[in-house]
Amino acid sequence: MVNVSLWRWNLWLTLIFSLSGEAALGAAMYKEGTEHMPFTLQTHTRPLLESDHLYWGMQTSDFARYASQNQWQPSLPRRMLKTIEGWGFTLGGGGLYTPEGQLVFTQDAQVQVYFRNQRLVGVFILPTTRTLDPLTLTQWSRAWFPDEMVTIQYQAEPSEGGQRVLQATLGEVLFEGDLHKFLTPFRTIQLGNPYTPTRH
């Protein structure tokens, strides 16, 4: 009888420890899941790129928010002359999608943004490297102004494998002194909505 009782007691203790071990393992797995779950969800649900875009007539306050979100770094003091303003930025390499789904990175350029009565009317682009070509310029414009008619005027020079943009304007230029004097003629690309580019 003693041997049977001891055997039953050992069996009962073994069962308790086995269940306790499974419960502890389950708790550890749950704990590990709760520790890693927020990181995994944040990685997949956090927006990689901003969905906001520019549009003609955009207010200065909304533009300032857009510039901050898309890594436009202020580079020059703001200029004001009666009802017009010019804001200077360095493009910080932010990624944007065109309406056609093309991912582009706006970088290696200085820009001047123009406002009349605190409303966006134009952008001047001055590349800082030899990497901006007319196609990339068009993609930038589409990513910035996907729902707008945009007139692009640019000067370019031949480079290895294509053309290099020297300077470009979108919309109006309110401070004409910003334009550099290059000998090459201006070319025009008209972007409509939907995307219908025409070159002149």
The closest alpha carbon to 134, from 185, 195, 188, belongs to 188
If you average pLDDT over every residue of the chain, what do you get? Answer: 78
Q: Which residue has the higher pLDDT, 22 or 182?
A: 182
At residue 138, φ and ψ (nearest 5 deg) are -65, -40
The answer as to whether 92 is a domain residue is: yes
Distance in angstroms (rounded) separating the CA atoms of residues 67 and 187: 27
Specify whether 169 is located in the same domain as 192: yes
Domain extent at residue 148: 60-199
pLDDT value at residue 82:
93
Please give the Cα distance from 165 to 167 (Å, whole number): 6
Q: Tens digits of per-residue pLDDT, 30-49?
A: 333 333 222 222 322 334 44
pLDDT at 4 exceeding the cut of 90: no
Residues 159 and 122 in one domain: yes
Co-location of 105 and 143 in the same domain: yes
In the chain, the number of structural domains is 2
Residues 6+ apart with CB under 8 A from 176: none
pLDDT at 93 (0 to 100): 86
Q: What is the pLDDT of residue 21?
A: 44
Q: Is the pLDDT of residue 2 over 70?
A: no
* Same domain (yes/no): 82, 113: yes
Residue 52's pLDDT is: 82
Enumerate the H helices of the chain as residue ranges. Answer: 2-45, 60-69, 134-144
**Is residue 119 in some structural domain?**
yes
pLDDT digits (tens, 9 = 90+) for 101-160: 999 999 999 999 999 999 999 999 999 998 899 999 999 999 999 999 999 999 999 988
In a domain, 31, yes or no: yes
Among 90, 87, 84, CA closest to 70: 90
Write the pLDDT tens digit of every residue in 54-83: 999 999 999 999 999 998 999 988 999 999
Residue that wins the pLDDT comparison between 117 and 10: 117
Count of beta carbons in the 10 Å neighbourhood of residue 138: 21
| Same domain as 180, residue 127 | yes
**Torsion, CA 106, CA 55, CA 60, CA 114, rounded to 10:** 70
Length of the chain: 200
